[in-house]
Amino acid sequence: MSDLTQPFKRLPVAVIGTGSYVPERRLTNADLEKMVETSNEWIVERTGILERRIAAENEHTSHMATRAAERALESAGVSPEEVDLIIVATITPDTFTPSTACYVQNNIGAKNAVAFDISAACSGFLFALKTAVQYIGCGQARTALIIAAEKLSTVVNWEDRSTCVLFGDGSGAAVLRTGDQPGDGAVLASDIGSDGSLHDLLRIPGGGSACPTTTENVHERLATLAMRGNETFRHAVSHMKESATSLIERAGIQPEEIKLVVPHQANLRIINAVAQRLTIPADRVFVNLQKYGNTSAAAVAIAFDEARREGRFGKGDIVLLVAFGAGLTWSSAAIRW
């Protein structure tokens, strides 16, 4: 029997590989000008977005998740059979059940992995990271594959100019592993939080058990994204700043030690406001939302992978990831590469 009076020794956890995937089709601001009453100038001024990627009709969330997963495994030098745990973060699953993670498990041949989904909206990738760290840290898994994938084009109201300009499709993934000693990519600390009292700021009101889609209400487009933009903006900035600040303190690092901040890619004004409050210079903040828009849970994952591949950080550098999403949810993680 174990001695419960002794402190629990948590195993070190590291990110050892990343991958991402975005669909080929580009939907530009000029294209949107033909669909709704908007303009390139209006979109760029308020969001910073120039274009977004849209998945093909027969390209499901699981397909995009699989592509990102394969690239992450290749980056890590890990075979599918070595994976013990697969977590997919998404609000646009292929089906309500089975989970998208089970489709991915089958697609990549990860026959030894347990697989499940989580739903934390735009915070989902870092919620998955936190969950995987707990599994690995307590010895319940050795190798985890975390994936964030979204086909938001299926839940966007393409007649609502205030929201349809924001979102795109894509996926990102990472492989986490433990060892006797912390290695490159060590997860220094992670943080997640929720405030369900603000659930109505950003949501998909219909399509679930509370409001099923019926022939009588289908014309109301209730199974699409609805957002109270100004309030969401305010809470996004404050919670991302608070989560990152708390994380920096717990990790025992200083803001000037952070090589790169990879924030949720929702809105350039939100990104700039968070960076200013953290006193992080703009040249140490990674931004790619101009190319992809807001891909919800996938946004931080895609940005993290792109930043790594572009050489924006290297061995020994500290990277801070921070996100905010519907729920309300927020999350952050510090990684020493």
Find all residues with CB under 8 Å of 35, minimum gap 6, and list them. Answer: 158, 164
Domain extents in the chain: 13-178, 188-287+299-336
Above pLDDT 70, what percent of the chain?
96
- pLDDT confidence band for 4 (50 / 70 / 90): very low
pLDDT over 80 (residue 38): yes
Pair 133, 143: CB distance under 8 Å: no
Closest C-alpha among 109, 98, 71, 122 to residue 332: 122
User: Is 239 among the residues known to form the active site?
Assistant: no
- What's this model's pTM, rounded to 2 decimal places? 0.95
pLDDT tens per residue, range 263-286: 999 999 999 999 999 999 999 999
Task: Confirm whether 13-178 and 188-287+299-336 share one CATH topology.
Answer: yes
pLDDT over 70 (residue 8): no
pLDDT tens per residue, range 122-175: 999 999 999 999 999 999 999 999 999 999 999 999 999 999 999 999 999 999
pLDDT tens per residue, range 11-31: 899 999 999 999 999 999 999
Pairing of β 226-227 and β 51-54: unpaired
Distance from C-alpha of 94 to C-alpha of 99, rounded to nearest angstrom: 8
Q: What is the mean pLDDT of residues 58-79?
A: 98
Range with the lowest mean pLDDT among 66-70, 183-187, 209-213, 330-334? 183-187
Assigned CATH topology for domain 13-178: Peroxisomal Thiolase; Chain A, domain 1 (3.40.47)
Tokens, residue 25: 């089709």
Architecture in CATH of 188-287+299-336: 3-Layer(aba) Sandwich (3.40)
SS (H, E, C) the chain: CCCCCCCCCCCCEEEEEEEEECCCEEEEHHHHHCCCCCCHHHHHHHHCCCEEEECCCCCCHHHHHHHHHHHHHHHHCCCHHHCCEEEEECCCCCCCCCCHHHHHHHHHCCCCCEEEEECCHHHHHHHHHHHHHHHHHCCCCCEEEEEEEEEHHHCCCCCCHHHHCCECEEEEEEEEEECCCCCCCEEEEEEEEECHHHCCCEECCCCCCCCCCCCCCHHHCCCCCEECHHHHHHHHHHHHHHHHHHHHHHHCCCHHHEEEEEECCCCHHHHHHHHHHCCCCHHHECCCHHHHCECCCHHHHHHHHHHHHCCCCCCCCEEEEEEEECCCEEEEEEEEC
Active-site annotation holder among 29, 63, 267, 294: 294
pLDDT tens per residue, range 106-129: 999 999 999 999 999 999 999 999
Active-site annotation holder among 29, 102, 122, 267: 122
Tokens, residue 43: 């979109």
- pLDDT confidence band for 65 (50 / 70 / 90): very high
Active-site annotation holder among 63, 164, 264, 267: 264
Find the Cα–Cα–Cα–Cα dihedral 293, 296, 297, 303, rounded to 10°: 20
Amino acid 7: pLDDT: 55
- pLDDT confidence band for 229 (50 / 70 / 90): confident
Pair 298, 153: CB distance under 8 Å: no
User: Is 264 among the residues known to form the active site?
Assistant: yes
User: Is 157 among the residues known to form the active site?
Assistant: no
The Cβ-side half-sphere exposure at 223, using a 13 Å CA radius, reads 16
> How many other CB atoms are found less than 10 A from the CB of residue 190?
24
pLDDT over 50 (residue 2): no
- pLDDT confidence band for 10 (50 / 70 / 90): confident
Q: What is the mean pLDDT of residues 64-75?
A: 98
Q: What is the mean pLDDT of residues 197-206?
A: 92
Identify the residue with better confidence: 176 or 3.
176
Distance from C-alpha of 49 to C-alpha of 82, rounded to nearest angstrom: 39
Q: What is the mean pLDDT of residues 180-203?
A: 86
